[in-house]
Amino acid sequence: MTDEILRVTDLSTRFFTQEGQVNAVSELDLRIERGEVFGIVGESGSGKSVTARSIIDLIESPGEITDGEIRYRNADLAATIAEDHPTAVDGEFVKLLELPEGVRESLRGTSFSMIFQDPESSFNPTLTVGEQLAEAVEVQRRASARPRSTRSRTESAEYSLGSLLLSTVLPSRTYVSEESRDRAVELLELVGIPDPVERADEYPHEYSGGMLQRAMIAQALAGEPDVLIADEPTTALDVTIQAQILDLLDDLQRETGMTILLITHNLGVVARMCDRVGVMYAGEIVERGTLEDVFDDHVHPYTRGLLGSVPDLEDASGRLEPIPGNVPSLLDREMDDRCQFADRCPKAMDDCLEHPPEYPADGTDHHRARCVLAETVYDDARALPAGYFDGTERPAGDEHVGPVDPESDPSDERPRSAAETTGTGGDRR
Ligand SMILES: Nc1ncnc2c1ncn2[C@@H]1O[C@H](COP(=O)(O)OP(=O)(O)OP(=O)(O)O)[C@@H](O)[C@H]1O
Ligand code: NI
């Protein structure tokens, strides 16, 4: 039996910029089970952060969620809200996008929390870490002490002061009780900060990068959230510290049973942390499944490209070598209704000029790929000619269409992905 905590259906998030409409996330589906670590992986600009921010309600103008539904399972919350907002409730699920803004805001910290790459942005430099954690605890306590249905706009604005994400607003010491201060020290201890009593009285700049990252995690845990969204939480740290922070998240997940949505461009991190993974490209999840599905039985050439470009999956520092070609701009006017990866794909065929649906990848429902190769075998006869997407057909071997690979056979006219050039011998390192 599944215990879905989050169900995102058909989510589209757009940015309406001066250059035009950016389709950052398009018709995205996502189901996350309670207690799992779900990874979203993909190159820069694929829409990972926008997906996360859409879930936690941090999309700001000129961005907008233009379509879709986000359901969060929380029976207590559903029961509390049902009276005032019946249309926002379906059984144990709360439809987040139908909640009034104040109620949605109040879920930040208590239901969902987010940690980021740069902990500095989560702390106010003029207050001690302990004060800020205590304030976060206080705000979350007050938030859960009052029934959500009776909150006024002013009250919700007050809650948002302590919202872990609005760190630019000064929290005020006067709200903080002794109990909350004690809890702040406990939280610092929980995330492995030595001498937590003393460290609580220090300012953010007195913390090292790794310690501040821990403190940010403590801050995110202050409201005992159901779902922790971690957006590249270790990217800015050096390798040893990265490994320690990942261990910490792993331990905390085990101890608290919380659900983690982990965003990364690092497949080594996915391999180490996640139960299931969604591979994201151009605002869509193009392949999803268990770690085994995605690492060992992948269908999508993009997944293969990502895997082939990882030097060492055991190494948390493993960086992606770029896949040849560019990530699409996601500008609406530049996007055709085709497979978005076709222009970089070593196996693009005529079929790929139509936008592929998500196919079951090997007859199972949990492994799915948005690629015709889930259904059809690759057929050279139907391959798109090299240079097809440049508008001109280029001669074979033209360096514009593929990586410069001195060892490739010049008579082979298909561009190769990094995976193909490095992974064919069965040894991808
Ligand atoms: N505030 C914004 N205004 C305009 N466009 C935006 C804004 N935020 C994101 N985008 C666009 O949305 C798309 C997806 O961005 P997103 O930040 O989600 O990518 P990402 O996968 O998280 O990349 P990275 O690994 O670099 O963090 C990009 O094309 C980006 O330019
Ligand atoms: Ni991002």
The answer to whether ipTM exceeds 0.85 is yes
CA separation for the pair 66, 14 (Å, rounded): 7
Asked if residue 374 lies in contact with residue 360, where contact means CB atoms within 8 angstroms, the answer is: yes
322 φ/ψ angles, rounded to the nearest 5 degrees: -65, 140
pLDDT in tens, 131-145: 999 999 988 887 776
How is the chain split into domains, by residue range? 112-146+176-224, 299-382
Ligand 1 neighbours, Cβ below 6 Å, are 15, 17, 22, 24, 42, 44-50, 63, 265, 330
CA separation for the pair 56, 352 (Å, rounded): 33
Q: How far is the CA of 375 from the centre of ligand 2 (A)?
A: 31
pLDDT at 396 (0 to 100)? 44
Q: Which residue has a Cα nearest atom 18 of ligand 1? A: 47
**By percentage, how much of the chain surpasses pLDDT 90?**
68
pLDDT at 323 (0 to 100)? 83
CATH of domain 112-146+176-224: 3.40.50.300
pLDDT in tens, 157-204: 444 434 444 434 444 445 578 899 999 999 999 999 999 999 999 999
pLDDT in tens, 80-111: 999 999 999 999 999 999 999 999 999 999 99
pTM, 2 dp: 0.84
pLDDT at 54 (0 to 100)? 97
Q: Which residue has a Cα nearest atom 17 of ligand 1? A: 49
Q: How far is the CA of 333 from the centre of ligand 2 (A)?
A: 23
Q: pLDDT-derived band of residue 1, with 50, 70 and 90 as boundaries?
A: low
Name the maximum alpha-carbon separation found in the chain. Answer: 75
pLDDT in tens, 49-88: 999 999 999 999 999 999 999 999 999 999 999 999 999 9
> Beta strands 93-95 and 89-90: pairing type?
antiparallel
Torsion from C-alpha of 225, 228, 229, 231, nearest 10 degrees: 130
pLDDT in tens, 407-424: 444 444 334 333 333 333
pLDDT in tens, 330-369: 999 998 899 999 999 999 999 999 999 999 998 788 999 9
Q: How far is the CA of 335 from the centre of ligand 1 (A)?
A: 16
Please provide the average confidence, as pLDDT, over all residues in the chain.
84
